[in-house]
Amino acid sequence: MEKFYITTAIDYVNGAPHIGHAYEKIATDVIARHQKQRGKDVYFLTGSDEHGIKIQKTAAALNMTPKQLCDSNVAKFKDTWELLEIDYDQYIRTTDENHEKTVQKIFQKLLDKGAIYKDSYTGLYCSGCECFLNEKDLTEDGLCPDHLVKPEEVKEENYFFKLTDYKEQLKEYVKKAVKPEFRVNEVLNQIDDIRDISVSRSSETLQWGIPVSGDDSQVIYVWIDALSNYITAIGYDTEAPSDKFKQYWPANCHMIGKDILKFHSIYWPAILMALDVELPETIFAHGWITIDEQKMGKSLGNVISPASLMGTFELQNVDPIRYFFMTTTPFGKDGNYSDEDFKAKVNSDLANNMGNLLNRSLSMLCKYFDGEIKPEFVSDSLKDKALQTPPRVLEAFDNYAIEQAAEAVIELVNDTNKYVNDNAPWTLAKEEKWQECGQAIYNTLETMRHVAVLIYPICPNIAQDIWEQLCCEGKVSEYKISELKWSDLKIGKIASKETVKPVFLRIDSEFAGDKKKK
């Protein structure tokens, strides 16, 4: 079975999760679910980055140990991913004993190879970025451009990784691996300016981290600690990698935010080159989510959590959240959230178009034919449109264009709505043209069976509801895209008035509750 190994960035757990964190995890989950629909052996890794000065300082301010702070916030992240139905296979923590021991081995191997050396260094350090910055990286006021704080001048003796040894190899790799393609030149320009990087900190400065074996004065820094999670999680070892590592590595996709692209496309592959480990196939940098066109931030008071969205709109499941964030912006570019946009998008696509199409078609089947599909109803009128959609979805996912995959499915839904309006089964029933009426309903419901399979990675709950209301066997998640063919809808009684219900209520529906309506 062909494998597909996909990872998210591991979240820094000095705070609680918000929709920016959720955006990446939803996207990765959608891709993982789709790849399973292709019949692949998928492994989906996520986790948390738990060492560093920010954790150390935040914990001290809260009168907690760093581990207590991490444990508390990791629970919040895990609860949020459960809420969003993020179906990961493994959650790695950089405080896991196996990870810490393997990181020490990796550090030692690089040291033994001469890829790491010890030197004194003076530089501008931003604790928010957890990295040293060049003066040209700063704003005109001398601030970190991401955190808008003045970096502190740090002078200490550290271990350094010989990043400059890999310049030319990195350029060739970046041209092939970095996605979207418009990010490639950005990284190539950064490679021209790279210097060797610090991979340890003084233990006088940083106590909360993995010690360098044999040198108590140094703590292993984030680039070898956090980045190595992608291989330590699946059993990498410097001496004898596990069968699991051999099965899944190299990663097919590292899904990350654009702000950490430099570290993943320059630092990480160079470390792997030094270790003689195969490089990841794709590094995909997604954009950020703004709130009402403003960058999200605690100081602005506009940080939104997925749980608050669920509560604000009294959502029955998370599909509207997943759908909105995956469809409103070309994946890879920045997206924006507003309450009005959210309501308009999910009401239009999920309630008015998709949900209403299924509901009225099944209702007509019950009204005119007691919920029964008869053999003479089988027709091919929408066959071509339905079968043209899966290749479009597959191609979109090949390019990590999730919004284009969804667009193809919604286009099929819209075409089917037009077909229903053009053929008017209610008029055919009035004229007692029963076979033509049954065929029109059949074509619509058979198309909706295809829609359920194709929309499943984004909207797993709505897809399963459609699947069950069409009386299809098993779980829609187990149905492979390659198995989709026309006229597989069950012949016989598939519905009754009791089983037909909306798969998604409009947020402002009178049936959705006073708070929703408001």
Chain position carrying tokens 């979109």 = 396
CB 225 within 8 A of CB 209: yes
Ramachandran area for residue 492 (φ above 0: left; ψ -120 to 50: alpha; else beta) = left
Q: What is the helix, strand, coil percentage profile of the chain, to 5?
A: 50, 15, 35
Where does residue 62 rank: exposed (0-12), middle (13-18), buried (19+ CB within 10 A)? exposed
Q: Which of 224, 319, 322 is nearest to 270 (CA)?
A: 224
Coil vs helix vs strand at 11: strand
Give the active site residue among 70, 131, 144, 459. 144
Peptide bond preceding 250: is omega within 30 degrees of 0, i.e. cis? yes
Give the active site residue among 3, 67, 113, 147. 147
Q: Phi and psi for 202 in degrees, rounded to 5? A: -65, 140
Catalytic-residue membership of 144: yes
CB 424 within 8 A of CB 436: no
Give the active site residue among 25, 54, 129, 254. 129
Report how far residue 11's alpha carbon sits from residue 130's, in angstroms, rounded to the nearest whole number: 13
416-455 burial code (b ≥16 CB/10 A, e <16): bbebbeebebeebbeeeeeebbbbbbbbbbbbbbbbbbbb
Give the active site residue among 18, 264, 286, 450. 18
Whole-number Cα distances in Å, 205 to 121, 260, 410: 14, 24, 54
Give the active site residue among 126, 437, 459, 472. 126
Cβ neighbours for 433, distance < 8 A, ≥ 6 positions apart: none
Report how far residue 358's alpha carbon sits from residue 375's, in angstroms, rounded to the nearest whole number: 20
Catalytic-residue membership of 459: no
Give the active site residue among 3, 113, 176, 295. 295
Both tokens assigned to 258: 């654009």
Catalytic-residue membership of 18: yes
Supply the DSSP string of 426-438, one letter for each residue: HHHHHTT-HHHHH
Q: Which of 492, 491, 474 is nearest to 483 (CA)?
A: 474
Catalytic-residue membership of 254: no
- The residues annotated as belonging to the active site are 18, 21, 126, 129, 144, 147, 295, 298
